[in-house]
Structure 1
Amino acid sequence: MTAPVNVPISSRGKLATSLPAEQLAEITELFENRREGFSLDAPFYTDPSVFKIDMEAIFGRHWIFAASVAELPEPGDYVTVDYGPYSLIVLRNDDGGVNVMHNVCRHRGARVLPESTGTTGNLVCGYHSWTYAPNGDLIHASAPGETKFDKSCFGLKRAHGREYAGLIFVCIAADAPTDFDETAKIFEPYLLPHDLPKTKVAYQQNIIEEGNWKLVMENNRECYHCDGHPELACSLFPTWGLTEGFIPPHLEEVWDRNTEAQASLEKRCERYGIPHQVVEELDTRVAGIRISREALDGDGESFSPDGHRLSKKLLGDLRDFRLGRCSMHLQPNSWFHFLADHVVTFAVFPVSEHQTLVRTTWLVADDAVEGIDYDLGKLTHTWKQTNLQDKAFVELCQKGASSPVYEPGPYMKSEYQVEAFINWYTQRVLEHLA
């Protein structure tokens, strides 16, 4: 369901498309000449001007995943979300909805809430104590001698916020894309059985990767490199992304085991009325999505060395631990794993053309007790290791893209989702530049 939201106030600010006409024409040509089926040219990953356009055309116009409801369960709870030049406050209001505001004081521009998370009543800027209500209205500005100061003109600038099935999304555009509601209708039936409003944060990890945000997303969208994830390969079948007829000999036995496990999982899902079908519209809609429920190896329950559950508490109204993982990819900045015993969310926030923040959050049932129902080290081990390995892969690619001898290489058949992401990305930027 969509939670109540505040009304956005448009403030476009300085646009990357105000670049000199010659430079903008060169960048537009770069996008128009993008070679299908090949990785991007080096400037897509290294050029500060392309990064500015990314912030305007992608992160400045589209819905991005910000947090889960478990991160701000009570009124007054907030998180701050930073990407590129932007900082947003996402705050739970008294009505149960979310208020989303730019984290920029209307007096001298100081960050109103410098912490990444916390609880607040009114929002008080630490510089000159300008004070804002939870909806962003300015309610106090101590200004001796000011007799004609109109506080109603200086509320925090607002953005759009939406909550679906326990996930919170934000958009800073004046007019947010309208098709996200339709995408939410696709994923809500898959997520609702996990009941995210009845989860809590077990752990959150922030990693800065020395790589462009698109390299982070590309790396996520394929398993061609999954031999480099030994911990993950214990439970995640490394045949993900492969199709019949393209199975290398060393994975044939794994493919057969995966096929059998998937058939068993689908029967179990049908017994419980849980959707499992693959929906893949990564580059055929503005709010691109891929979602499915897929079997895990071993016991088929969780991301552990033997596939066994990592928490003793089932989520929501689920009745079986052996439900594999519901995997969801959303353009442009997130992916998720919903299991019977816990949930892992991933959010990607660009910092600069060569730096990206990757935020991973582990959620467990709100009545699960650490040390009794789950061991935090075991719960987080697989993805902590996998994240470090992915960080290394991304940074290798960033170094390569910065080399004078770099040139785009072809995507393999198993990397079709990388191609879909890049196609989605170039479509959106070209629409904006047009």
Structure 2
Amino acid sequence: MNEYDLLNLTYNSMEEARRQMVRLLEERSRTYSLPRPLYNDPLLFRIDMEEVFEKEWLFVGMTCELPAKGDYMTVEIGQNPVLIVRDRDGEIQAFHNVCRHRGSRLCTKASGKVATLTCPYHQWTYDLKGNLIFASPEMGENFDRNEYGLKPVHCKTAGGFIFVCLRHGEPPAIDDFLSALAEYMEPYDMENTKVATESTLEEQANWKLVIENNRECYHCSGSHPELLRTLLEWDDTTDPRATPEFLEHCERQAQSWDREGIPHRHLEVGLRNRIVRMPLKEGTQVMTMDGKPACRKTLGRVQNRELGSMRILHLPNSWNHMQSDHLIVFRVLPVSAQKTLVTTKWLVHKDAVEGEDYEVERLRQVWDATNRQDRDLAEENQRGINSLGYEPGPYSETYEFGVINFLDWYAETVLNNGKQGRF
């Protein structure tokens, strides 16, 4: 078999995979888990990457991680290395982290600071807006530097969050969510925060199982003793499990938030984005083992330490908990059909001093335990799904409605993006 036969075989395999993807998504039952191939097949995973992670807005990091001109971070989205940098005008730019000469990665570290972007291979050099400013004279007198700037990636910021989109052409709409995000994050003054610590877990599970696990607390009472020291299991005031006592607690907290001008109205932008501020258990302030402050300094203009947790969802790859003295942001990036990276970052006031205002171990204790527990749950879920004994099982329409909503968004997104492209 020659190389052309192999190319045709790969092409035909992908075309068949796309037909299978359409059939599985169109025929699925909305209130049941997905068929096995959608959780473990490498070709269907490749379609997930092409139709979701290469076309939708993704959370990649926080603006406070790039406080000064020349600060940069890198991220790998599948096989796409991306570079995010603050330019000399103070704007955050994103580029494909690929030199226009022969394709080498420009920046090989996770983060750093540069005056210019210089390729380590042949020293082609770009300014912080992606313009090629140096290529050796050996390129010849007819070489036009203006034609070889870095390829930009769509990039938007709001409320301290950085989002990128790899899509060619016009990206999907996100401005309504970003406007709301900026409003709801205003009390925290995100430009005056810093990442105190972070972790990345490699989970041997499909990315959708990682998100599904996050979208319900049906499993919490049996799996998360540390988290439930402070967290109330109810998703919001419309949760069918909500008790009269819980609703009264919510109302009392809402009145105190109103007095301080803290946004808390439940907000949804389609199935993709959601913001809701929920109180924690009475007598607790933040998600620590004892419910007491994790940091002496509150954030921004916050005075009331009982802000509960403002939960922010952004599909396909982020959930977040915003509290009075520290913030916790989560980023999900698929690696393969059965491998996913989950990065957690804990943010505090930029002037907070480790060892004086906060202790990293105390800051991390609850969510380090919860993340490990969730990793184990997702990995055992994957092992069971890989079995010949697996078949899609029913979701609870009350306890697991968040999972149903996520899979509705996922199916709609893959089918719609596919119709615009290759399906």
TM-score, structure 1 length as denominator? 0.89
The partner residue of 1:229 within 224, 228, 231 is 224
Residues 1:267 and 1:18: Cα distance change in structure 2 (over 3 Å) = farther
Rounded Cα–Cα distance in structure 1 between residues aligned with 2:181 and 2:14: 42
Q: CA deviation at 1:397?
A: 1.1
Alignment of 1:261-280 (within 5 A): 261-280=249-268
Q: Give 1:183-194 correspondences, 5 Å limit.
A: 183-194=177-188
- Which consecutive unaligned segments of at least 5 residues does structure 1 have? 1-15, 248-254
What CA distance in whole angstroms lies between the structure 1 residues aligned with 2:77 and 2:103? Answer: 17
1:81 aligns with 2:75: yes
The residue type paired with residue 296 of structure 1 is L
The CA deviation at 1:298 is 4.5
1:310 to 287, 290, 294: 294
How far apart, CA to CA, are the structure 1 residues paired with 2:100 and 2:25? 37
| 2:375 counterpart residue number | 391
Distance in 1, Cα, partners of 2:261 & 2:225: 33
Report 1:394-433 matches (<5 A). Answer: 394-412=378-396, 413-433=398-418
Structure 1 residues 372 and 292: alpha-carbon distance in aligned structure 2, compared to 1, 3 A threshold: same
- Determine which of 291, 303, 314 is the counterpart of 1:319: 303
**Cα pair 2:309 2:322 within 8 Å, conserved:** yes
Pair 391,410 (structure 1): closer, same or farther in 2 beyond 3 Å:
same
Q: After TM superposition, where is structure 1 displaced by more than 4 Å over at least 4 residues in a row?
A: 16-20, 241-247
AA paired with 2:374? D
Distance in 2 of aligned mates of 1:19 and 1:143 = 45
Q: Cα distance 1:20–1:332, how it changes in 2: closer, same or farther (>3 A)?
A: closer
Does the alignment pair 1:217 with 2:211?
yes
Q: Aligned partners of 2:177 and 2:188: how far apart in 1?
A: 18
1:280-359 equivalent positions in 2, closer than 5 A: 280-283=268-271, 288-359=272-343
What residue number does 2:7 align with? none
Which AA in structure 1 matches 2:279?
Answer: A
Structure 2: distance between partners of 1:145 and 1:127: 15
Does the C-alpha gap of structure 1 residues 333 and 155 become closer, same or farther in structure 2, counting only changes over 3 Å?
Answer: same
String of CA shifts for 1:119-165, please: whole Å, max 9, x gaps: 11111111222211111222222253633222222222111111101
Deviation at residue 236 of structure 1 after TM alignment: 0.5
Query: 2:135 and 2:40 mapped to 1: Cα distance?
Result: 43
Asked if 1 retains the 8 angstrom alpha-carbon contact of 2:289 and 2:365, the reply is no
Unaligned runs of 5+ in 2: 1-9
Is the contact between residue 258 and residue 297 of structure 1 (CA under 8 Å) also seen in structure 2?
A: no
Q: Are the counterparts in 1 of residues 18 and 47 from structure 2 also a CA contact under 8 Å?
A: no
- Contact kept, 8 Å, 2:199 with 2:343, in 1: the verdict is yes
Structure 1 residues 224, 17: closer, same or farther in 2, change over 3 A?
farther
Contact 2:55–2:171 at 8 Å: present in 1 too?
yes
By how many angstroms is 1:306 displaced?
2.5
Q: Distance in 2 between matches of 1:33 and 1:17?
A: 24
Equivalent position of 2:49 in the other structure: 55
In the alignment, is the contact (CA less than 8 A) between 1:222 and 1:241 conserved in 2?
no
Per the alignment, in what secondary structure is the counterpart of residue 193 of structure 1? helix
CA drift at 1:341: 0.3
Where does residue 5 of structure 2 map in the other structure?
A: none
* Residues 1:367 and 1:21: Cα distance change in structure 2 (over 3 Å): closer
Residue type of the alignment partner of 2:305:
F
Write the deviation string for residues 224-258 of structure 1: whole angstroms up to 9, x where unpaired: 111201111101013446967647xxxxxxx5654
Distance 1:390 1:149, change over 3 A: same
Q: Distance in 2 between matches of 1:142 and 1:69?
A: 34
**Aligned equivalents of 1:419, 1:143: Cα separation in 2:** 59
The structure 1 residue matched to 2:356, chosen from 372, 376, 395, is 372
Q: Secondary structure at the match of 2:138?
A: coil
